Amino acid sequence: MRLHTLIGLLAASISFSSLAAPKAAEPATVDANQAVLGSLPFHNTKAFEDARRGFIAALPDGQVTDSDGHLAWNMAAYAFLDSEAAPDTVNPSLWRQARLNAIHGLFEVVEGMYQIRGMDLANMTIIEGQTGLIIIDPLLTPATARAGLELFYQNRPHKPVVAVLYTHNHADHFGGVKGVIDEADVRSGKVKVYAPYGFMQHAVSENVIAGNAMARRATYQFGALLPPGERGHVDTGLGKALASGPLSLIAPTDTVPDNASLTIDGIEIEFQMAHGTEAESEMMMYFPQFKVLNTAEITSQHLHNIYTIRGAAVRDASAWSHYIDRVLERFGDQAEILVAQHHWPIWTRDEAKHFLAVQRDLYKFIHDQSVRMMNKGMLPGDIAEQIQLPASLDQEWYARGYYGTLRHNARAIYQRYMGWYDANPANLNPLPPQQNASRMLEYMGGMDKVIAQAREDFAQGEYRWVAWVMSQAVFADPDNTEAKALAADALEQLGYQAEAGTWRGAYLMGAQELRNGSAASHRATGLSPDVLKALETGMFFDLMAVRLNAQQAEGKHLVINWRLTDTNEQYRLNLQNATLTYRENAQADNADASISMTRETLDTILLRQSSFPAEVAAGRITIEGEPMAFFGLLQMIEEPPSSFPIVEPVR
C-alpha cells in the first residue's frame, strides 16, 4: 500500500459523542446487501481456518499504548465483529473480510518463522536466525512494533534483533522500526537494515510535495475519523485500521540487488524485485530452508489498488501481473507456503500456485480489457460500468475489491494511458465546479425543484444519482441545509452497500462531514524527525516552490545564496516570473542575500521547534546582503490548510 509518511500522523481530533447519529439502512440497501449473500460462495469458510492456523497468543485486551500513554491500537473497539451475520448497514462481503482481519496476534508460519498480524495495518514477520531475530516490515508505529515484539518474546526465546528488512517504501512497512531496534546499534554495525534499490528516495519523497492534499484525502480513504461500529468504521480491506502515532525511519545499511541470494544470520533468502508496481521500490523473497515464499504486498487476499483514491500516480498493472508470474515461475514448484505482509498465509503448494495465478490474471485482465474498451472509444465511466470479471475470477475471495475496486481501477487504466481529458471538446475547458453547479441547478428548475425530485429518487433507492445531484446542489449553495442533509443520506446508504473498505470510508466520511462539518485532524505540524533527517535539501526547496503564492511573487526578482555549513551544501535560489527555482552546487555573485546556517538549524525550523527570525536573532543564521530579500521570500511561502473542504466547495 502506498501509505506514505503522513498516514501514521493521522488521528481523530473529534469527539464521537458529539457527532450526529448515523441513520439506519434504507430498504433498498437492505435488499442490496441481502442479494450479496446469494451471489458469492459464503459456504467456503476455509479462509477462516487459514487465518487462525498457527495461532499462539494475542494481546489480552487487544490494545497498545505508546510511551506517552496514548492509545496507539485498539482491536477491542471491533468486538462487534464477533457476530457472523452482517448487519444491514454493512455489505456482507466486506463484513466477512473485516472479521478475517480481526483475527490477530502472534502466529507460527513454520518452526522458526512467525508473524504478528492484526496489530497494525500490515504484518510483521519474525525469523529466528542463528544468533538473533530477522524482522521483516516493522509495522507503522514504534508502539505497535514494540508491542508485537514483546508478544513474541513472551512466547519464544528472547534473542536480539540482528537484521531488519523493509520490503518496500510505504510507511506501514517501515514506520515502526525504532520500536524493534536502536539506531545506535545500526550505526555500530550490530544491526543490519536491508531494503531494495531506491527505498530511501521513495520513502521520503513520495508525499512531501503533495503530502498535504494526500493526507486530507487519506482521512476519507481510511475512514480515519469514523467511530468503529456497524454504522461506522469496520475495516480498510487491507487490514483493520491505521495505528495512531508518529512514525520512525532508520536508513538501510545494505541495498539488495535484483535477483540476489543473501544469507542473513544463517538464513538463506532469494530475492525478486518488483519495482514500479504496488510500490516504486519493492522486493519479494523466498526462504529455501522454510520453503516459504513472501510476496510482500505484490499479492494480497483481495484486489489491490491500481489507483489509490487518496491520490497517487497510477500503477503499472501489466508489470504487476508480470512480476507475479515471475515468482510463480521461479518459486511455484518450490514454495509450500505463501505469506505476505498483509493478511493471512496460503498453506499448500497447489493452493499457492492457484492463488498466484488468480492474482496474476486479475491485474492483467483489468489492464487488457480496459485498454480494449478504451481503444473502441469508450470513456472511463463506460468502461467502469461495463467491465466485469469472468466468473472464474469473480468467485475467488482473493479477487474481491475490498481495497481496490474493479470500477475505479478500470478508470485508472484509462487515466494512465489517456489522462484526464476524454477528447470531447465540450469537456476541454469546463466551468469550475461551483459555477457549473449553479448554472446546472438553474437549468433544472432551481434548488427547491431539484431537492424535491431527489427525495423521490432517494425513496426509490437511486443513491448514486442522488449523491451526485445533491453534490451539485451543495456546491451551488453550501449553506443549504436540506441539500447537505439529503446528500449525506445518499452517501451513507452507498457506504452501507460498499464492498470496498476504502469506498465505505469515503462515503461515510463524506456523510459525516456534511452533517457535522470537517474536523481538523491531529496531524503533527511539520515532518516526522526521522523522515526529516532523510529529506534531501533540494526537496526542501521543491516544497518551498509549490507553496509559493504566485500573486504575492508577481513582478519580483530575487536571487538568494543558501549555504549549509555542516554539510558543505550550496544552493542558488532564483525567484523570477512568480516561479522559484534552484541550482545545486552554485552561488551567485550578484545575490540579493546570502544565507548561512547548519542543516541541524534548518531541521529545527522544519520541526517547528524554532523559526527563521528566532534563529537569525540567536546568531545561528547569518545573512549577508539585504535581510528583507530573505524574509520577503519567506513571507510569500504559504501554509496549506490541513482540513480543506472535500464535500463542499473551497470558499
Q: For residue range 137-191, what is the model confidence (pLDDT) as tens digits?
A: 999 999 999 999 999 999 999 999 999 999 999 999 999 999 999 999 999 999 9
pLDDT (0 to 100) of residue 535:
86
Q: What backbone phi and psi angles, to 5 degrees, belong to 439?
A: -65, -40
Biggest CA pair distance of the chain: 77
Instruction: Report the C-alpha gap between 404 and 237 in whole angstroms.
Output: 9
What tens digit of pLDDT does each residue of 486-542 get? 999 999 999 999 999 999 999 999 999 999 998 765 444 446 788 888 889 999 999
**Residue 8: pLDDT above 70?**
no
Instruction: Report the C-alpha gap between 251 and 533 in whole angstroms.
Output: 10
For 106, left (φ over 0), alpha (ψ -120 to 50), or beta? Answer: beta
- Measured between alpha carbons, how far apart are the two ends of the chain, in Å? 33
Task: Give 193-253 as a DSSP string.
Answer: EEEETTHHHHHHHTTTSSHHHHHHHHHHHTTTTSPBSTTSB---SSSS----S-------S
Q: What Å distances lie between residue 80 and 162, 249, 502, CA to CA?
A: 39, 35, 20
Average pLDDT, the chain: 95
Q: State percent of the chain over pLDDT 90.
A: 91
What tens digit of pLDDT does each residue of 40-60 get? 999 999 999 999 999 999 999
Domains, in order of start, for the chain: 4-11+46-408 (3.60.15.30), 430-516 (1.25.40.880), 529-635 (3.30.1050.10)
Average pLDDT for 415-424: 97
Q: Among residues 353, 358, 349, 348, which one has the least CA distance to residue 301? A: 358
Pairing of strands 254-256, 192-196: parallel
CA 581 to chain centre: 30
